[in-house]
Amino acid sequence: MKGGDPYIRALMRTISASEANGKRPYSLLYGGQQFNDLSRHPQICVTIVTGPNTGNCSTAAGRYQIINTTWFQIAPRYHPKPTQFMFWVSYSFEAEYQDVVVYRWLSDSQFWGINISQLLHQGKLNDVLRRLSSTWTSLGYGIETNSISGSLPRIYKKILQEELATINLPSSQNLLPTPIQKSTPKPLESLRERNNSTLPPYRGSSGTLELRLDSL
């Protein structure tokens, strides 16, 4: 499937820029090493050597640095093609499935308690990053910010312009929060209705998100 919500796609690319910024993000382990088997989550626990969790280990893996327990929580809900064996179900960790699962996850307002797409359309990126920071601690409001954390609003703005350009929407609309200004109330007929988003797509090798599954 092509198309979908460019705001969610831009958010996903922003998360990836902060969590797994490299040439092979889909096969990236916490700490920078690579793994080869994408048929399932690698479940490799890498020792943490810096920060408040020094001495513990992390199973974070892939483009979105998802830990194994989180993957086993979200994959049954959002994975489009689980593999059924006799006594268990396996969830492929191939690139396209990482993308689709995270896309559907971020689009699930019931899970997060907020409508992420709607907030992004309203320019409330900071509210979204704050809500997600307990899951991705590098987003600027967690306990483990990195060198990219402070640049995420700028990165998101640039990526969103790219995503909007792919669907020929005005790139200047609702990119970032704008200051509230006092003004004379306008008649209702002159107010523009804010567009609601539809479910989105995902990223291909070109750098733009592209959901490639017909089931989404």
pLDDT digits (tens, 9 = 90+) for 134-148: 999 999 887 777 888
> Predicted confidence band at 207 (pLDDT cuts at 50, 70, 90)?
very low
pLDDT for 9? 97
Task: Name the pLDDT band for 34 (thresholds 50, 70, 90).
Answer: very high
**Contact indicator for 120, 128 with CB cutoff of 8 Å:** yes
What's the burial of 23, exposed, middle or buried (CB within 10 Å: 0-12/13-18/19+)? exposed
pLDDT band at 84 (very low <50, low <70, confident <90, very high): confident
| pTM of the full structure | 0.76
First to last CA, the chain: 7
Residue 1 has pLDDT above 80, yes or no: no
207: left (phi over 0), alpha (psi -120 to 50) or beta: left
Q: What pLDDT, on a 0 to 100 scale, did the predictor assign at position 86?
A: 79
